Amino acid sequence: MKLKFLGTGTSQGVPVIACHCDVCSSLNLKDKRFRSSALITTDFGKKILIDCGPDFRLQMLDNKEEQIDAVLLTHEHNDHVIGLDDLRPLIFKNRKNIDLYANKRVGDEVKSRFPYAFADIKYPGAPSFNLQEITGDFNILDNDIYPIEVMHSKITVLGFKFKKLAYITDASFINNDEKEKLKNLDVLILNCIRKEELHPAHFILPQVLELFEELQPKKLYLTHISHHLGMHDETEFELPENVHLAYDGLELQF
């Protein structure tokens, strides 16, 4: 299987509008970050999208991707769901609904935000989805997926584990029971918004490094990165061995 980072930025993306800091002014493409999203390619070539934010259309075009077979939603914040309408060309091409997997709260919010996609009588050109409620471990296209429940400030967000890789974004706390599911991993992907100053809803670098020591994955990749984390190359150089900054377009085999 393969995971490609379609986006590794926070809700504002990088560069941030009207910001002229060193990161936002950088010419290094690794400092250009779409909103966070990832694409899983299964061993049989099926495509599972994790989150569908406002940059989805450009992410697909930039990566020359032309198919999505299912969508996993971590939570309902705009930077993770507002691009769902842009799945329309793939729905029309395949002539069938796309399955969206989410917990009940997120599914209800999607129905509220995109009511036209669930109407009994749809207007021409509307997207169409099948909502699949996540209540425990599940299987998509012959691939076992294990949800990881984390806290994003005061709301529950789902991470997802595939084989020995886990993808977690928008977390500020993981309880001990969920941490047990994150042990013995080859790859752990965690959000990391900045180096210093505690954030109420996101891990910062010292917290992420503590989790790396506690969980001991073979490799740790950071995502959901803001311009406050610093320049990609400089920050990458400062990180411990086997801890890396993800960047848009990076592919991991697992």
- pLDDT tens sequence across 200-216: 999 999 999 999 999 99
CB contact burial 50-82 (16+ within 10 A = b; e otherwise): bbbbbbbeebbeeeebeebbbbbbbbbbebbbb
What's the pLDDT at 84? 98
166 contacts 159 by C-beta, under 8 angstroms = yes
What's the pLDDT at 150? 98
What's the pLDDT at 3? 98
Residues of the chain with pLDDT under 50: none
Domain 2-247: CATH architecture, name and number where available = 4-Layer Sandwich (3.60)
What's the pLDDT at 96? 95
Q: For the whole model, what pTM was predicted?
A: 0.97
What's the pLDDT at 224? 98
DSSP 43-96: TTS-EEEE---TTHHHHHHHTT-----EEE-S---HHHHTTGGGGHHHHHHHTS
What's the pLDDT at 24? 98
pLDDT tens string 40-82? 999 999 999 999 999 999 999 999 999 999 999 999 999 999 9
